[in-house]
Amino acid sequence: MLERIESPQDLRALSHTELRELAEEIRDYLVDSVSRTGGHLGPNLGVVELTLALHRVFDSPHDSIVFDTGHQSYVHKLLTGRRDFSSLRKRGGVSGYPSRAESEHDIVENSHASTALSWAAGIARGHTLRGETDRTTVAIIGDGALTGGMAWEALNQLADCTDRVVIIVNDNGRSYAPTIGGLARRLDGIRTSSAYENFLSWGKRTFSGRGPLRDFTYQTVMHGKRALKGLIGPQGMFEDLGLKYLGPVDGHDLAQVEAALTHAKAFGAPVIVHVLTDKGRGYEPAEQDPADRFHAVGKIHPETGLPIEPSRFGWTSVFADEILAAGSRRDDIVGITAAMLAPVGLQPFADAFPDRVIDVGIAEQHAVTAAAGLAFAGMHPVVAVYATFLNRAFDQLLMDVALHKAGVTFMLDRAGITGDDGASHNGMWDMALLRHVPGLRLAAPRDEPSLRAAFRQALDVDDAPTVVRYPKSSLGEPLPALRSVDDIDVLATYGEKARVVVFGIGSMAATAIEVAAKLAAEGESVLAATATWVHPVPEGLLEVVGEAELVVTVEDGLTDAGVGEEWAEFARLAGRTVSWSHHGVPREFLPHASRVQILEQIGLDSTAVADAVIARLG
């Protein structure tokens, strides 16, 4: 069945029975392919019928379809001609998120949540202004992403317009983890309402055994208007904004979903379709997993769902261990997460101190300002977040935390090049941004001991924001210092007097050691060093640089305005006229590939850096 689908138009000729067969085949394909490559399995298993109905009712790309976050777009990719998942999330293969380079059916590439409704509002208004009244804009957003404030800013605008927008709320009660807060309670109340049960009964009576769905029309749907009457517009959460509402609809009943979407399309103005789905639907290991382990997986055994290669002890585990120990010593420590309790390492702390963990939902801006409030009230908040997602709360860090000299610690997981998830997930912006924040102190530990030390030191700062960044990877062997000069750790020396000094920032310290060894093999006298606290500029910098002719910096953040440039400017202002060579990430969006491949591509592997230095030295 799947091989017959070259475009969404091919779906419209299928019977109800054929569509059910196609749905099962898609699920089998997803389990088989994603188990080989890794990827977002659970979210895609849950939207099979919804995506089929979506492409039968709407005419993509004439009608614009926007996926919030985008990790649930695998089925969409299969139905729009991308059936080869053998290199999913690998260089040259299909992206794990929508990609304009892949297909005209993909619109939004950014994999940050809660943005789809704003995109839809803009696209729909553009169509209206151009007189394109036959085009509908569709946004698919999860209940988890609705916890983000940006989504409600968009709803506020959409409630006051007449543009053709259909908002599909894909409600599975989860984001990365179970959805929390007042929104979750309200949606749960809708799910258990008698109106929903009546709608389900009407759907079963009306559509059971109909066969082909291609005969569904607006008039067909209106035969159920008595059942729909209690469901369109009675839900205060959306109706109070002035938005029409349809649902809840069983997201795994193709007939019901298609009927609801047909009705919504015919409405011709903003309308919300509330669809209930089960994350991991049809794959027993995912359905039975309460911890959402199948939201995103590595390579697994498809029969059992168990990983082929057990996870190695990583940086996140070190933080999890340290904050748990700190919580036992100090009752003022509070953990804050934006809907990612387990991935950022806060789960053990939450298990031990449930009253001292706050999950704000997908709302990084709120998380940071709330942390400033906690600090004012005498607590020491620890905001654990992926480095790429701190971008979303830069203003709050600047104006609410730093301006008010709030003692807040930020733990930036997945800092630097992450690779497989593509441009929006690389944590490459933080150092260039954060070094401009007055009073902020930034640490980039190189190994387990330095990460533990940095976190403990950060907790002792109560008058400024502290940031500790670390990569997405397993931990390597410790890199002990030969000696320390103030805040600089010397890791390797070759020769009596260094002509070249190589600084490796954070996880690039090991690369600096390798570069130094390669230069020494060419007869150069070299010193390799690093610093745990990289901003403000370490006091021992000038002493370690000494009388060197060339100083090399290697960092997995932006070269432009990065740590290396800050250190070089410091040396220049101090009157040290030494040459500098900066190696980092270029100011561009990087395609998805493995971390190793990207480092090679941008010249950040040890061989490329050493060759560049040798060429510089002549």
Question: How many Cα atoms sit within 13 Å of 49 on the Cβ side?
Answer: 29
SS (H, E, C) 284-297: HHHHCCCCCCCCCE
Place of tokens 């806060």: 346
DSSP single-letter state for residue 401 = I
Q: Is 331 annotated as a binding residue?
A: no
DSSP single-letter state for residue 231 = T
Q: Is 60 annotated as a binding residue?
A: no
DSSP-based three-state secondary structure for 168: strand
What residues have CB less than 8 Å from 502, skipping those under 6 apart? 512, 515, 516, 519, 526, 527, 528, 529, 552, 554, 613
Q: Is 364 annotated as a binding residue?
A: yes
Q: Is 582 annotated as a binding residue?
A: no
Q: Is 172 annotated as a binding residue?
A: yes
Q: Is 111 annotated as a binding residue?
A: yes
What residues have CB less than 8 Å from 152, skipping those under 6 apart? 146
- Using left for φ > 0, alpha for ψ between -120 and 50, and beta otherwise, residue 326 falls in alpha
Q: Is 101 annotated as a binding residue?
A: no
| Residue 569 a catalytic site member | no
| Inter-residue contact 7 to 81 (CB < 8 Å) | yes
| Residue 566 a catalytic site member | no
Annotated catalytic residue within 90, 164, 174, 279:
279
Q: Extract the tokens encoding 92.
A: 């040259």
Annotated catalytic residue within 49, 258, 322, 364:
364
Q: Is 113 annotated as a binding residue?
A: yes
Q: Is 264 annotated as a binding residue?
A: no
| Residue 539 a catalytic site member | no
Q: What is the DSSP string of 504-542?
A: E-GGGHHHHHHHHHHHHHTT--EEEEEESEEESPPTTHH
Alpha-carbon span 538 to 556, nearest angstrom: 19
Sheet holding 579-585, edge to edge: 483-485, 488-494, 526-531, 500-504, 550-558, 579-585
Angstrom CA distances, 117 to 105, 157, 159, 372, stand at 17, 10, 12, 29
Q: Is 156 annotated as a binding residue?
A: no
DSSP-based three-state secondary structure for 211: coil
Annotated catalytic residue within 392, 441, 446, 595:
392
Residues contributing to the annotated binding site for Mg(2+): 143, 172
Q: Which residues are catalytic?
A: 279, 364, 392
Residues contributing to the annotated binding site for thiamine diphosphate: 71, 111-113, 144-145, 172, 283, 364
